[in-house]
Structure 1
Amino acid sequence: MRKIVWSSVIGLIAVIVAGCFLIRPQLWARSTDLSAESVGGVKIGENIGSRSFTGKYQQTLNKQDNTMYDYYEWDGGLRTASIISGPEQGTIMRLIISGQENPLTTAKGIHIGDSKEKVMSLYGKKYYKSGEQGADIVGYIDREQNLTLEFWCVNSTGEVAEIRLDDAGVK
């Protein structure tokens, strides 16, 4: 009887651990320093109303309201998610680039169309893997800066199709 109880407990723990790994793979990834990271020359925490931002991205092409963030598409190929209201209004929480002709890059020079191998050679081996919407995702997390950097790669070719730099708290 005792053996059955212990086997059940160990089995339950194994299922919980495996579930955590499958649901949130970034929990298991080691931290990577992303403190110098930017997308298109913009960093998480900048404000869309600041001079440094409006000097680079002056015109919005599209605005999409969301319950938590305002998503903007800017002339030049950048998409942002910023805080809707309150004292932090306009603070950028997510940066996204996609589209074959997009000229923007990460701080280390990765752009749309680069290979997954190039990403891993420049950003290192401390990554997590995930999948969503038919893409293979290679992600890096900076636990000290509370940032994640994800490269969404097309399954058939392994090319980067989208890049996301997020505050790790973005839902």
Structure 2
Amino acid sequence: MKKRFGFTILFLIVIGSLYFWGSMKLNFSPRYFYTLVTKDTNLSNENINGLKLHQSMKDDWFIVKYGTEYERKENALFDYYELNDGLMVATQKGNDKIIRISMTTVNTQPLRTNKGIGIGESIDKVKQLYGGSYYTRWEQGSSIIGYVDGKETLEFWYAQNEVDQIRYDVASKN
């Protein structure tokens, strides 16, 4: 009985170690994990096209710029709204505070981060402007580098060294 218990404990330690090592090397940990292990980058002035996290979709500025009628995308956890071609925001269900801002395509009016990064920029330029304190991960077939400020992340999804999606959001455990 003691041997079986000892073997079980050893097995769990080995499996846990392999998971932790694999998540660091292979980048398959949940995004929230990176907020715990990545050195912060100051993102306090960050915005995308003037949009900021925690901003209300009922603010006068928001309504003047984007109106009140936008396409809502169904999702089990969040309410997603397509503001215009390639620009999307998300809120918690039943709330109007923005928790995610993403852009995925080149828009008729160029959308940029606070430091001037838009779709089509080189990932090298991202690293030059935002610095070397980032994490790397892989999701949905895309390579991603992300910057952390507390519980907020700014991610640049890229292929062939070119940014094809930018996602700025509050990192949740979901």
TM-score, normalised by the number of residues in structure 2: 0.81
Aligned to 2:130: 123
Looking at structure 1, the residues matched to 66 and 87 of structure 2 have their Cα atoms a distance apart, in angstroms, of 8
Looking at structure 1, the residues matched to 13 and 91 of structure 2 have their Cα atoms a distance apart, in angstroms, of 44
Using the TM superposition, give the Cα deviation of residue 17 of structure 1 relative to its aligned residue in structure 2, in angstroms: 2.7
Looking at structure 2, the residues matched to 39 and 16 of structure 1 have their Cα atoms a distance apart, in angstroms, of 35
Using the TM superposition, give the Cα deviation of residue 28 of structure 1 relative to its aligned residue in structure 2, in angstroms: 2.7
Cα gap change, 1:13/1:78 in structure 2, threshold over 3 Å: closer, same or farther?
closer
Give the unaligned 5+ runs of structure 2: 1-6
* Structure with the bigger percentage of helix: 2
Map of 1:62-141 to 2, 5 A cutoff?
A: 62-75=71-84, 77-85=86-94, 89-101=95-107, 103-141=110-148
Using the TM superposition, give the Cα deviation of residue 52 of structure 1 relative to its aligned residue in structure 2, in angstroms: 1.8
How many residues are treated as equivalent by the alignment? 162
Looking at structure 2, the residues matched to 84 and 47 of structure 1 have their Cα atoms a distance apart, in angstroms, of 13
SS of 1:23's partner is coil
User: Over residues 6-52 of structure 1, what are the superposed CA-to-partner deviations in whole Å (9 max), with x where a residue is unaligned?
Assistant: x9787556324314423336143211111111111110000111112
Looking at structure 2, the residues matched to 75 and 108 of structure 1 have their Cα atoms a distance apart, in angstroms, of 21
Cα gap change, 1:131/1:13 in structure 2, threshold over 3 Å: closer, same or farther?
closer
- Runs of 4+ aligned structure 1 residues displaced above 6 Å come to 7-10
Looking at structure 2, the residues matched to 129 and 20 of structure 1 have their Cα atoms a distance apart, in angstroms, of 11
Instruction: Verify: 1:151 aligned to 2:160, yes or no.
Output: no
Give the unaligned 5+ runs of structure 1: none
Looking at structure 2, the residues matched to 76 and 28 of structure 1 have their Cα atoms a distance apart, in angstroms, of 34
Report the RMSD for the aligned CA atoms in angstroms: 2.5
Looking at structure 1, the residues matched to 58 and 137 of structure 2 have their Cα atoms a distance apart, in angstroms, of 34
Looking at structure 2, the residues matched to 76 and 55 of structure 1 have their Cα atoms a distance apart, in angstroms, of 17
Using the TM superposition, give the Cα deviation of residue 54 of structure 1 relative to its aligned residue in structure 2, in angstroms: 1.3
Cα gap change, 1:53/1:76 in structure 2, threshold over 3 Å: closer, same or farther?
farther
SS of 1:121's partner is helix
Structure 2 contact 85–107 (Cα < 8 Å) conserved: no
